[in-house]
Structure 1
């Protein structure tokens, strides 16, 4: 029985892999059944994809909020500062007391069943479902962890499924081809329920079309069924036109930077329109405009003073989006990169992409068991101006203090690294006030 949030989080973190050898989905399904299947008592939207889940979810949440939907639950990962960030209702994080209550409730059920603990993520999935059910949310936006088909979040029967992008990631778990990964992520598509996607890879899209057809699920595909056109880059925003069949909204202002965010915003608009057309919520053009003008997502091309950017580009697709955004936002400046990541990623491809535009490359690491060593990352670099230092805080401190005025400092890689850097920079901002 936990009474202290720090002790609870420490124990949960020790369960990253869990002690159960069963399929995550089956473990969660079984435990939720003990609680009366609370996941079926509220409406849900399910999101899967290699990149863009968080930004799409956040844009949709803002649209629903501005459409006067009172209780919008969100289950996201990872967190940047506090575990409570993962489970929210209308932007309010689950309290420490509520979190402890539900974790203890889940642990009691596990002990009563067989005493075999599932993983960190599986436990949080159950906590979120219990919390959203008790709080009677109007709708919950649920992100998958890894994949979709066997993911622990796939216990829900969503109104709409969203699949953002598909890239070659987690290949040891999901498969090493676009088709195999698409099959796993497409596992969130449900019978007779719409699916919306911005996947453009032909092999992946072919798989998703087939799954949708087999499930009799209407599928809306970006650039076929809905489009974003006439994109222009302003200093603090992007402007674009959105269209889906007869519905057109011109000059939409989007606060988040990067062409990929246009795609994510389009996904959110399309999902909102489908919810409106099905009679669930009253979505207005005014709500869409206000939401996208305000929506932002921490750790995704987040700007600090003096041209410092932090971005959780944790795979080649994310790195490509980051570089495209840098070129659009700062076309005439030099870029200095700081990179730290976990061992389960395709670092070489990401590093090669950064090297093509970098003025300098610095590699570091975070204190996690599966962190990629800074020296090993640096060994992958062919850049003429490469450095490495295993102490990330020293690297960031020196880089921010010695930064050249006309350069852009880009701190990127694992979201766990971004979490640490973000706390460091925010604390620095507070100290300077």
Structure 2
């Protein structure tokens, strides 16, 4: 796999925050050479501190269910890189991805395109795959920020800003206003915009920036949620009439994300979707690592929350879904110097009985110190040195519920290894 080997040799900002990203114009130059300028695709572009992967995947599933050939670009991945490049809800083959990367590597070696970073090269190759495979529509998730992100070479019909939080303040800040400014950078002239919840100060900033763009504010929507088995019913009230549909997702944040995806799809199609169309489309939605419940003994909940706001939403969803009074075990690994104490405080779980710690960049000792500070009587296990199957490790926590969280690395350690040992019962 020469193309993928070449890709993995490139500087990778996701692994090393000191890596310099390329100017957007250089990424556009490479895409113009490899892809051309007239693919005919139309785009939904999704940015946000949290929730952008869920919104992007939900929008792609809805569009695909209506018969469109839809590309989806996501980042990062849980198990294998092909998950980032999907057509009609299916990852492209390793061979197809490698083929396109070989073309880009050859152009780079010939100095016909600039040398890009790992993320930038993957995105350029993805656009070429989507064009050559006949995608009519593509949903693109930003890597980080928006304005200076490689994905901002597209001119999207619809832009979605899911949330603005404290993650990446070092790179995008120092203030939340700066973070929002970066994310609003994906909004081009004439694009429709869908915005997630914002406080009053950030909303005023966004309103000023979007004065000439048709904008939907989720804070202005009227809807009710009715949590149930396997998800929740959403009842939306608007001047256009009431809609009611079931979504296989848990928690208030997931409801917001589903609505943002629905409105983005309606904006790019120029028509309102019926309750039946939404419910049928979302029936096949599966979001790995997004409050994903693996039922058995113990019940395992996998969620890629990795920052303060995501941890708050995760803790609230856990209580809403299962109620209080259960024994809880935690599997945790964090990356990029994030603060485990801040994460556990935001998670807001009153009692955790045991914890398995993984080295995903933040040292296990730092995780251990934070866990013991929050839960003095907790049973602590260093899983970074354990060689037992994942299923055995989960059972060793000896709790009714096990929550796996803190990073894509931690969630991937459970979802991508020994997965059959986790499915001890039926969902």
TM-score, normalization by structure 2: 0.89
1:351–1:277: structure 2 CA closer, same or farther, 3 Å change rule?
A: same
In terms of mean alpha carbon deviation, does 233-242 or 145-154 score higher?
233-242
| SS of corresponding position for 2:242 | strand
1:353–1:285: structure 2 CA closer, same or farther, 3 Å change rule?
A: closer
Cα displacement (A) at 1:116 = 5.8
1:170–1:18: structure 2 CA closer, same or farther, 3 Å change rule?
A: closer
> Is residue 178 from structure 1 mapped to residue 172 from structure 2 by the alignment?
no
What residue is the counterpart of 2:214 in the other structure?
218
What residue is the counterpart of 2:332 in the other structure?
339
For residues 312 and 206 of structure 1, the distance between their equivalents in structure 2, rounded to whole angstroms, comes to: 30
1:13–1:283: structure 2 CA closer, same or farther, 3 Å change rule?
A: farther
1:61–1:22: structure 2 CA closer, same or farther, 3 Å change rule?
A: closer
Which of residues 294, 302, 326 in structure 2 aligns to 1:310?
Answer: 302
1:111–1:8: structure 2 CA closer, same or farther, 3 Å change rule?
A: closer
Q: Note the aligned Cα RMSD (angstroms).
A: 2.7
Give matches, 1:124-163, under 5 Å: 124-163=122-161
For residues 175 and 425 of structure 2, the distance between their equivalents in structure 1, rounded to whole angstroms, comes to: 49
> Is residue 295 from structure 1 mapped to residue 293 from structure 2 by the alignment?
no
Cα displacement (A) at 1:41 = 3.1
1:17–1:315: structure 2 CA closer, same or farther, 3 Å change rule?
A: closer
1:223–1:432: structure 2 CA closer, same or farther, 3 Å change rule?
A: closer
For residues 122 and 391 of structure 1, the distance between their equivalents in structure 2, rounded to whole angstroms, comes to: 31
| SS of corresponding position for 1:358 | coil
1:432–1:256: structure 2 CA closer, same or farther, 3 Å change rule?
A: closer
For residues 327 and 284 of structure 1, the distance between their equivalents in structure 2, rounded to whole angstroms, comes to: 31
1:295–1:243: structure 2 CA closer, same or farther, 3 Å change rule?
A: farther
Cα displacement (A) at 1:199 = 2.6
For residues 100 and 195 of structure 1, the distance between their equivalents in structure 2, rounded to whole angstroms, comes to: 34
Cα displacement (A) at 1:356 = 4.0
| SS of corresponding position for 1:35 | helix
1:14–1:212: structure 2 CA closer, same or farther, 3 Å change rule?
A: closer
Q: Check the 8 A contact 2:10/2:116 in 1, yes or no.
A: no
Give matches, 1:39-58, under 5 Å: 41-58=40-57
What residue is the counterpart of 1:245 in the other structure?
239
| SS of corresponding position for 1:344 | coil
Q: Deviations over 1:149-204 (max 9, x none)?
A: 00000000111001101101111110121101000011111111110011323333
For residues 207 and 217 of structure 1, the distance between their equivalents in structure 2, rounded to whole angstroms, comes to: 14
What residue is the counterpart of 2:316 in the other structure?
324
| SS of corresponding position for 1:47 | strand
Give aligned pairs, total.
418
What residue is the counterpart of 2:395 in the other structure?
401
